[in-house]
């Protein structure tokens, strides 16, 4: 049997020991990515579990650890952005219906000052809201970079050339800053 076919067959199923190793290695990274996007511990945990459930049920045809990591990050990014968009749509519908938007889980306070805690939550909500307005690709670049992925890892995860990541990331950052500034200016007026 050719080695390519053996590689495909070997990676088409994941044994429990292999899955446990991958889960243990990448859970913190995938959770951090989901939490960075959603800002909700429970939601990030649910997304992370869904990512690994998908990996276990239908593993990617990845020939290396970096390809597995890229696949996990891509699925986590997509699920997180979907959750963010869903929350934004739900919020818009509630506001349109005249209902007061309820806050889900609050971020545990690292400060003893409730006012600082409230301001930090408000700032995080604003950042997530502005992020949700960007095109999906730009959201992905910013999220992946925010969790510390290198340009090469971002390229693997998103499927673009490594040489293009810097320009694409810079464009996403400029667009984010522009929208953020517009939102702050409108809020202060």
Rounded distance between C-alpha atoms, residue 81 and residue 143, angstroms:
10
Look at residue 180 and tell me whether its pLDDT is greater than 60.
yes
| pLDDT score, position 98 | 56
Annotated domain spans of the chain: 3-102+112-188
pTM for this structure?
0.63
Structure tokens at 27: 């859970």
What is the average pLDDT score of the chain? 80
pLDDT digits (tens, 9 = 90+) for 93-146: 566 555 444 444 444 444 567 777 777 788 888 888 888 888 989 988 998 888
pLDDT of 7 above 80: no
pLDDT digits (tens, 9 = 90+) for 33-92: 999 888 889 999 999 999 999 999 888 888 888 889 999 999 999 998 888 777 777 666
Q: Give the pLDDT score at 99.
A: 47
d(CA 116, CA 47): 29
pLDDT computed for residue 96 by the predictor:
58
Predicted confidence at residue 28, as pLDDT, reads 95
CA distance to 32, 36, 39, 52, 138, per residue, from 81 (Å): 14, 11, 12, 17, 11
- Number of Cβ atoms within 10 Å of the Cβ of 36: 20
Instruction: Assess if CATH 1.20.140.160 describes domain 3-102+112-188.
Output: yes
CB burial of residue 114 (10 Å; 0-12, 13-18, 19+): exposed
How long a stretch of residues is the chain? 189
Helix axes of 16-38 and 114-133: crossing angle, nearest 10 degrees: 100
Question: If we measure between CA atoms, which residue out of 189, 91, 103 comes closest to residue 133?
Answer: 91
C-alpha to C-alpha distance for 28 and 25, rounded to whole angstroms? 7
């Amino acid at each position: 049997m050719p080695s390519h076919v053996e590689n495909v067959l070997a990676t088409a199923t994941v044994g429990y020991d292999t899955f446990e190793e991958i889960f243990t290695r990448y859970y913190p990274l995938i959770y951090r990515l989901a939490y960075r996007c959603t800002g909700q511990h429970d939601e990030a945990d649910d997304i992370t579990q869904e990512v690994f459930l998908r990996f276990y049920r239908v593993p990617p045809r990845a020939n290396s650890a970096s390809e597995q990591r890229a696949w996990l990050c891509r699925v986590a990014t997509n699920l997180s952005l979907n959750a963010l968009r869903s929350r934004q749509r739900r919020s818009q519908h509630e506001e349109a219906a005249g209902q007061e938007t309820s806050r889900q889980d609050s971020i545990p306070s690292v400060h003893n000052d409730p006012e600082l805690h409230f301001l930090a939550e408000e700032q995080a909500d604003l950042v997530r809201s502005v992020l949700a307005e960007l095109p999906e690709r730009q959201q992905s670049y910013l999220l992946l970079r925010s969790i510390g992925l290198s340009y090469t890892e971002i390229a693997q995860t998103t499927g673009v050339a490594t040489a293009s990541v810097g320009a694409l990331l810079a464009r996403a950052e400029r667009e984010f800053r522009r929208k953020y500034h517009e939102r702050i200016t409108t809020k202060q007026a």
